[in-house]
């Protein structure tokens, strides 16, 4: 039975990813931030509590909790989407683009990443510099900047892990109807932006990961295609494929 770890599994996409992976026959581990009042995970998921990915010791804690388990798949799903101030901007970079380096480091050097295996970063099309246009406008600096940095991290991890048989990819799972997007007012764009429920995004994400080959390591993808990427046609043209490889 293949074994998967989802980092950030307590709600939204992460919660649905654990369900989809279990349905596909994975033994699944999921991390949560809380250890005092554990949140409910999907039934059957083996929980790893008390993991704050913004903390330097997160990778070491995960490795210790896994014991001798070898992982076939790791999905880093941690994200933030708050109204920016200086501290929040710093936190966003820590969670989205700094933490994955330390998690990958600890899992690899403690022998928890199998060969072959896959290490997936859930990012967003918002991390594509090419897809940012004057028509779309500016703003959301922490969101876009941290995701672009995460994509660079993923590319460099892919280079480092290539000869180890560990495939790395960055995935835009789609525009989702979640408490997080609603909390910042994005719910007004749900209909026009083609937003989907997290379980739908999780299913297409897991299906894409299953088909991902090592030849595509270090690449950036939208498994659901261009349907929810507002600037895709303006920048990349019409009749775009699904799945869609995204530009940096």
Quote the pLDDT of residue 186.
Answer: 73
| Strand positions, DSSP E, the chain | 3-7, 27-31, 46-48, 71-76, 113-122, 166-171, 219-222, 244-245
Quote the pLDDT of residue 83.
Answer: 57
Cα 72 to Cα 114: distance, rounded to the nearest angstrom = 6
What is the DSSP code (8-state) at residue 55? S
Quote the pLDDT of residue 181.
Answer: 76
pLDDT exceeds cutoff 80 at 123: yes
Q: What is the pLDDT of residues 164-209, one digit of tens each?
A: 999 999 999 999 988 777 766 777 778 877 889 999 999 999 999 9
Quote the pLDDT of residue 204.
Answer: 98
Please, which contacts does 173-176 make with residues 24 or more away whose CB atoms are closer than 8 Å?
A: 173/13, 173/122, 173/124, 173/201, 173/202, 173/204, 173/205, 173/223, 173/224, 174/200, 174/201, 174/204, 174/222, 174/223, 174/224, 174/227, 174/228, 175/228, 176/12, 176/13, 176/201
Quote the pLDDT of residue 189.
Answer: 74
Quote the pLDDT of residue 104.
Answer: 97
Please tell me whether residue 151 adopts helix, strand or coil conformation.
Answer: helix
Give the model's confidence band at 218: pLDDT under 50 very low, under 70 low, under 90 confident, else very high: very high
Q: What is the pLDDT of residues 11-43, one digit of tens each?
A: 889 999 999 999 999 999 999 987 655 567 878
Please tell me whether residue 31 adopts helix, strand or coil conformation.
Answer: strand
Quote the pLDDT of residue 152.
Answer: 98
In this structure, are residues 119 and 170 in contact, taking their beta carbons and an 8 Å threshold?
A: no
pLDDT exceeds cutoff 80 at 220: yes
Q: What is the pLDDT of residues 87-112, one digit of tens each?
A: 888 989 999 999 999 999 999 999 99
Please tell me whether residue 10 adopts helix, strand or coil conformation.
Answer: coil
Share of the chain above pLDDT 70, in %: 94
pLDDT exceeds cutoff 80 at 162: yes
Q: What is the pLDDT of residues 32-84, one digit of tens each?
A: 987 655 567 878 899 999 999 989 999 999 999 999 999 999 999 976 655 55
Cα 121 to Cα 219: distance, rounded to the nearest angstrom = 11
Count Cα neighbours of 57 within 13 Å in the Cβ-side half-sphere. Answer: 5
């Amino acid at each position: 039975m293949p074994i998967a770890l989802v980092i950030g599994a307590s709600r939204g996409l992460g919660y649905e990813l654990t369900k989809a992976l279990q349905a596909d026959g994975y033994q699944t581990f999921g991390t949560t931030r809380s250890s005092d009042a554990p949140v409910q995970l999907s039934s059957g998921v083996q929980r790893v509590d008390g993991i704050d990915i913004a903390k330097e010791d997160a990778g070491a804690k995960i490795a210790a909790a896994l014991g001798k388990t070898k992982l076939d798949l790791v999905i880093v799903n941690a994200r933030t989407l708050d109204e920016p101030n200086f501290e929040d901007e710093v936190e966003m970079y820590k969670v989205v683009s700094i933490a994955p380096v330390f998690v990958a480091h600890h899992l690899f050097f403690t022998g928890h990443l199998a060969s072959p295996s896959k290490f997936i970063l859930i990012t967003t099309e918002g991390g594509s510099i090419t897809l940012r246009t004057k028509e779309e406008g500016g703003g959301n600096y922490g969101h876009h900047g941290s995701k672009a940095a995460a994509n660079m991290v993923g590319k460099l991890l892919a280079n480092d892990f290539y000869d180890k048989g560990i495939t790395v990819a960055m995935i835009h799972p789609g525009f989702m109807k979640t408490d997080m997007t609603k909390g910042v007012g994005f719910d007004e764009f749900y209909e026009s932006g083609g937003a989907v429920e997290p379980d739908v995004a999780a299913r297409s994400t897991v299906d894409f990961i299953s088909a991902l080959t090592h030849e595509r390591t270090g690449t950036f993808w939208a498994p659901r295609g261009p349907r929810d990427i507002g600037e895709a046609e303006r920048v990349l043209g019409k009749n775009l494929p699904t799945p869609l490889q995204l530009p940096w």
